[in-house]
């Protein structure tokens, strides 16, 4: 219960300080959602790696990079597709089907598109403040990949 109060207090302070207005996350383009989701997912992964145990920064970076690369995100979302609600699946597909001007240099087009869809979903869940669902899906996907709780 206390954690909910902390999140609520954080969100209020964040919105008040930066004068953020309420917006409809569905109105954003899928690439904007993916832009947001990329940052949020990376922050979740980095936090998980840092809090797992103290290690050299280059080892933390390698572990984080292996989990945020397009190939891993594509594998993760493939494992999660059956767990998504209709709304979440629609957001994922919008992101997956979005035409981007760029592509990751070490990813296939299919992996890149799947990863963009995953990031769009994470961005959408973040912007709609469905944090529990966002973390639940991420944890479930990492668990199915064998990465949740794995120590290196």
Residues designated catalytic: 38
How many residues are listed for the chain in this entry?
Answer: 152
Could you tell me which of 51, 17, 14, 16 has the C-alpha nearest to residue 126? 14
SS (H, E, C) 64-109: HHHHHCHHHHHHHHHHHHHHCCHHHHHHHHHHHHCCCCCCCCCCCH
What are phi and psi for residue 111, nearest 5 degrees?
-60, -40
Q: Are 67 and 142 in contact (CB under 8 A)?
A: yes
Structure-token pair, residue 104 = 């990751």
Give me the sign of the Cα torsion angle 98, 99, 104, 106: positive
């Amino acid at each position: 219960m206390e954690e909910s109060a902390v999140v609520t207090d954080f969100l209020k302070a964040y919105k008040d300080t930066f004068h953020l207005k309420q917006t409809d996350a569905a109105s954003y383009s899928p690439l904007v959602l993916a832009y947001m989701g990329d940052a949020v997912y990376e922050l979740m992964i980095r936090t998980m790696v840092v809090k797992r145990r103290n290690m050299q920064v280059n080892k933390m970076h390698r572990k984080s990079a292996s989990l945020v690369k397009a190939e891993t995100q594509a594998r993760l979302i493939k494992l999660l597709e059956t767990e998504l609600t209709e709304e979440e699946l629609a957001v994922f597909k919008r992101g997956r089907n979005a035409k981007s001007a760029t592509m990751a240099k070490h990813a296939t087009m299919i992996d890149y598109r799947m990863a963009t869809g995953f990031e769009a979903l994470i961005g959408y869940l973040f912007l709609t403040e469905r944090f529990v669902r966002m973390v639940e899906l991420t944890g479930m996907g990492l668990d199915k990949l064998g990465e949740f709780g794995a120590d290196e």
